[in-house]
Amino acid sequence: MTEVRYREVQHFTSPWLWGLLIFIAGLIWWGAVQQLVLGIPFGNNPASDEGIAVVALIFGILFPLFFVVTNLTLEVRDDGIYYRFFPFHLRFRAIPWEEITRLEACTYRPFAEFGGWGIRWGGLRQRGYSTGGNRGVRVYRRDGEMVLLGTCDPAALVAAVNAEMK
């Protein structure tokens, strides 16, 4: 394994996202407790107890847990840039130095260019990996593809890459 020169781990930290998740999970749990524990049907046309239990499991536990464990890890190693968007990528994806034609720190528009955050496709031969914010590094590859890596500190990532590519 190659030596890691720079590492950044990002999580979804947007207050509106977490507010929405907490609201949905809270509503689901309130309905589940009301129907399953107190015996009061939840809503005008209540689901079965089994249905409520399944919905509570999915949207009250698994969905919020998914956002807790999801993260974007960026690494600069002596042989290239590595990134992993867990749990979608179980192993790191690599962009070797030989494949990089140029890179630039940038401020981008997540919704206009990529339709939001996460793993996104922004048109022909453009991919974006981001957990929030609007700052990143555009990596242009020899094959014409552009990969945008969202980062909290674009200047530090570019400096680490430039130090390794020399």
Q: How confident is the model over 9-22, as pLDDT tens digits?
A: 999 988 999 999 99
Report the mean per-residue pLDDT for the chain: 93
Are residues 47 and 18 part of one domain? yes
Per-residue confidence (pLDDT) for residue 158, from 0 to 100: 94
Are residues 149 and 99 part of one domain? yes
Are residues 123 and 86 part of one domain? yes
pLDDT at 119 over 70: yes
What burial letters (b/e) apply to 119-154, b meaning 16+ CB within 10 Å? ebebeeebbbbbbbbebbbbbebeeeebbbbbbbeb
Judge whether 159 lies within some domain.
yes
Instruction: Please give the residue range of the domain that contains residue 108.
Output: 76-165
pLDDT at 88 over 90: yes
Q: pTM (2 decimals)?
A: 0.87
Are residues 155 and 90 part of one domain? yes
pLDDT at 150 over 80: yes
68 to each of 52, 102, 118, how far by Cα in Å?
Answer: 23, 33, 14
- Taking residues 95-107, report their average pLDDT: 95
Pairing of strands 146-150, 126-130: parallel
Per-residue confidence (pLDDT) for residue 123, from 0 to 100: 80
Rounded CA gap, 61 and 117, in Å?
22
Backbone CA torsion sign across 127, 132, 134, 137: negative
Judge whether 102 lies within some domain.
yes
Total domains present in the chain? 2
Share of the chain above pLDDT 70, in %: 99
Per-residue confidence (pLDDT) for residue 151, from 0 to 100: 96
DSSP alpha helix (H) spans, the chain: 15-32, 49-57, 63-69, 154-165
Are residues 59 and 114 part of one domain? no
Per-residue confidence (pLDDT) for residue 124, from 0 to 100: 84
Per-residue confidence (pLDDT) for residue 62, from 0 to 100: 96
Are residues 65 and 86 part of one domain? no
Last residue of a domain, one of 22, 46, 69: 69
Per-residue confidence (pLDDT) for residue 1, from 0 to 100: 62
